[in-house]
Structure 1
Amino acid sequence: MSTRILEITQDNRYLSIHRGFIEIKESGDLIGKVPIDDINSIIGSAHGLVYSQSLLMELAKRNIPLVVCNQAFVPVSVLWPLDGHYNQSAKIDNQLKVTQPLKKQLWKSLVSQKIFRQGQTLEVLGLPAGAFYQLSKKVNSGDKENLEGQAAKRYWPLLLGKDFKRYRTGPSPNNLLNYGYIVLRSATARAVVAGGLHPSIGLFHRNKNNPFRLVDDLMEPFRPFIDLLVWKLHLQEGIDELTPDIKSRLVSILSVELESNDFTSSLLNHIQFLVRSLNKSYEEKKVLLQYPNPSLLNLQAILNG
């Protein structure tokens, strides 16, 4: 699957589909076109954008998410298909039948992985990481003690400085994190829909206004990979602005090769593997989640890329 993300940042663009190409026009003039087979997702972050009905139908057919963002690069809407998998009804039935104890165990697994990866992110940078490895082992069913939150309070000051506050509308590097998470969220949304699961039937996230609760659950263990790249961009290279080049580098995280127990594959593929393993967990009624298992040397490649 392609990792290419098409972002429309200029105002008053018209997007349509013609003979397998997404065509981009301004005032009726063709200014660019991209093969739709090359696209993983589309991000609309400009004003006055117009999309043809035929394009929206083709995006839905191919499970390509269209993410609409506000000025702070925070997603406010995502277009997703009603029918994304040949066995979708059965998959969603399994989702609806999942018991609360299994949901809590699945969330425990996701949180434990996230905290462990936060520890790895800090360790590869030569920062104190031991407490995160210990916390990752102490996560209980449903994370009732909110170790995820406790870890976050320690993590951000260590990673980005004691004055840094993680707010989606806050100063840089929040903008870099926002964009990196958009990339991750859109890739996860596509994997969820392609896997026949309903994105709003989550494990932990419960916001009634969030139609992508499952997506937000599943992307948690992958966030530290974005954080590591943002550390490099912001603190090592002094980057504060989201230029086209920086956006491209954030998108490239999906192509990073990460080790697993038996193989090496891209981050994008690992997201798909996690969704498949979630389906298997639902079917067999036990935790069978599959994650990448990168070494510190493997993560160093993100810094060297």
Structure 2
Amino acid sequence: MGWRTIYITQKAKLSYKTNHLLIQTDMDLKQIPFHQINCIVIATTQSVITGYLISQLIENNIKVIFCSQNRNPCAELNGYYNNIQRNQNIEDQISWSITSKQELWTYIVKNKIENQIALMERGNLDTSDIVTEYSSMQPNDSTNREAVIAKKYFPALFNEDFTRVLIPK
């Protein structure tokens, strides 16, 4: 299983050569071994990818994500036969006990809030309100501390006028 995410942002030709991804640009040619690659994000519509490379990426369980003109993900390659492990993982997770799911959710929310506090501390921002809310966290975030903290975190990080509502262009 690879660890690298390859992010393509400029005009390039992507092809295959002896278990390597070839990335050819106007100025450069790079070869990256498949065993190092976890995911390829193609964030430009000006790239070309060969069919043979696509089939080899699928066979090697390397995820490929395509982005639209505004660089938002719009499609992903999934092979027909190599998702057996992923499907098994999903089935296993569905069958977990409610208690296990709640413990995991609590862990995820706590970790998220701890990261928010650490980021604020790095920026020398006041974390006292958020730490107070965090200390009253209940299992499964039954009192919804995540939302309460988010309502304080984002204005503290950006400004008092900050809103998380997306306004279409």
TM-score by length of 2: 0.73
Q: Which secondary structure does the structure 1 equivalent of 2:124 belong to?
A: coil
1:100 to 2:101 alignment: no
Residue equivalent to 1:63: 61
1:18 to 2:17 alignment: yes
Q: How many residues align?
A: 167
Residue equivalent to 1:6: 6
d(CA) in 2 for partners of 1:114 and 1:152?
10
Cα-to-partner distance string for 1:243-301 (whole Å, 9 max, x where unaligned): xxxxxxxxxxxxxxxxxxxxxxxxxxxxxxxxxxxxxxxxxxxxxxxxxxxxxxxxxxx
Relative distance call for 1:77 and 1:23 in structure 2 (3 A) is same
d(CA) in 2 for partners of 1:169 and 1:18?
45
1:35 maps to a residue whose letter is: I
Q: Which secondary structure does the structure 1 equivalent of 2:31 belong to?
A: strand
| Contact 1:42–1:64 under 8 Å retained in 2 | yes
| Contact 2:41–2:64 under 8 Å retained in 1 | yes
2:110 maps to a residue whose letter is: S
Residue equivalent to 1:159: 157
Cα-to-partner distance string for 1:82-106 (whole Å, 9 max, x where unaligned): 5368x66764442231133432231
| Contact 2:45–2:68 under 8 Å retained in 1 | no
Percent identical residues:
26
1:33 maps to a residue whose letter is: K
d(CA) in 2 for partners of 1:129 and 1:9?
37
Structure ranking higher in helix proportion: 1
| Contact 2:117–2:130 under 8 Å retained in 1 | yes
2:51 aligned to which of 44, 50, 53: 53
Structure showing greater radius of gyration is: 2
Cα-to-partner distance string for 1:152-171 (whole Å, 9 max, x where unaligned): 12111211222344467789
2:65 maps to a residue whose letter is: V
Deviation at 1:137? 3.4
Larger RCO (alpha carbons 8 Å, 6+ apart): 1
1:5 maps to a residue whose letter is: T
Q: Which secondary structure does the structure 1 equivalent of 2:21 belong to?
A: strand
| Contact 1:122–1:128 under 8 Å retained in 2 | yes
Q: Which secondary structure does the structure 2 equivalent of 1:7 belong to?
A: strand
d(CA) in 2 for partners of 1:170 and 1:151?
26
Matches within 5 A, 1:1-305: 4-11=4-11, 13-24=12-23, 32-37=29-34, 38-80=36-78, 82-83=81-82, 91-166=89-164
| Contact 2:45–2:67 under 8 Å retained in 1 | no
Relative distance call for 1:77 and 1:90 in structure 2 (3 A) is closer
Structure ranking higher in strand proportion: 2
d(CA) in 2 for partners of 1:169 and 1:42?
30
Relative distance call for 1:73 and 1:30 in structure 2 (3 A) is closer
Gaps of 5+ in 2: none
1:8 maps to a residue whose letter is: I
1:51 maps to a residue whose letter is: I
TM-score by length of 1: 0.45
1:15 maps to a residue whose letter is: L
